[in-house]
Amino acid sequence: MRHRWLLQDKCHMWLNTALAKTKMKSSTNNESMTRVVAPIAAFLKTRAFRKKRFTFNRATSDGLVVVVNLQMGRYDVGNHAEIPGLRANLYGKFTVNLGVFVPELYREQMGEAQPDFVNEYDCSIRTRFSNLLQTKGDLWWTLGTQEDAIAARIIGLLESHGLPFLERFSVREDIIHELPEWCEANKCTSRALLDIALILQHKGRSEEAVEYFQRHLSKAHHPSHVQYCEELAIKHGWQTT
């Protein structure tokens, strides 16, 4: 029995030590992230973005919201060892997400009003610098080193690629005309056609909405998504044949 207690005590000590080290690393990473974000926040403020932690919002003239988000790699607990070439350890790193939030699409999907501040994962149009730059893998930057240089690099990429992308889809008409081509070029799903159908429906252009809806439905989809589309068709009075 005594040996069991000793073993339990050692396990508790090991776990407490590991948790303490993780907490210390997390605090260090957050401090580094705050230093990286500061000059980026100053830059985006001059472009009329408002900030909440590591996410930035700006309303467009058409009632959309464009979003810039700096996402830290999470700490995975458990059996999540790094596997080179298959699964990377992203803890202590961050990437940049870009998104365009369309209120009516959010209401259709979530059944609730637009939030006061938009998270990137609530956006219908989403991308990263790796996609815009067509790199082989995602771009992640390491925290704790060369913070000023990294911030300057992010600002440069926002000026050259990020903000032009967000501006490109900041108006609904531009989304309608340009999103399908962009998605095809970037090998996105055909969801864009359904989103455009819903945007057109909310603009009162039902005939055009049905055309995009049928184009979307003509693609191969999972049965659960087909059922979802059929429910949308009934809701909006779209013909499915």
Tens digit of each residue's pLDDT (9 = 90 or more) over 46-69: 999 999 999 999 999 999 999 999
CA 112 to CA 110: how far, in whole Å?
5
Q: Give me the pLDDT at residue 189, please.
A: 73
Distance (Å) of CA 213 to CA 4, 42, 200, 217, 237: 64, 42, 10, 6, 11
Going from N- to C-terminal start, the domains of the chain cover 2-170, 175-236
Residue 131's CB is within 10 A of a number of other CB atoms, namely 17
CA 223 to CA 152: how far, in whole Å?
46
Q: Give me the pLDDT at residue 135, please.
A: 86
Q: Look at residues 126, 125, 102, 124 and name the one whose alpha carbon lies nearest to residue 114.
A: 102
pLDDT tens digits for 18-56?
A: 444 444 455 778 899 999 999 999 999 999 999 999 999
Q: Give me the pLDDT at residue 86, please.
A: 43
- The pTM of this model reads 0.83
pLDDT tens digits for 139-190?
A: 999 998 899 999 999 999 999 999 999 999 999 999 999 999 998 888 777 7
Longest Cα–Cα distance of the chain, Å, equals 78
At 114, the amino acid letter reads: Q
Report the relative pairing of strands 65-72 and 50-52 from DSSP bridges: unpaired
User: SS3 letters for 175-221?
Assistant: HHHHHHHHHHHCCCCCHHHHHHHHHHHHCCCHHHHHHHHHHHHCCCC
CA 62 to CA 51: how far, in whole Å?
20
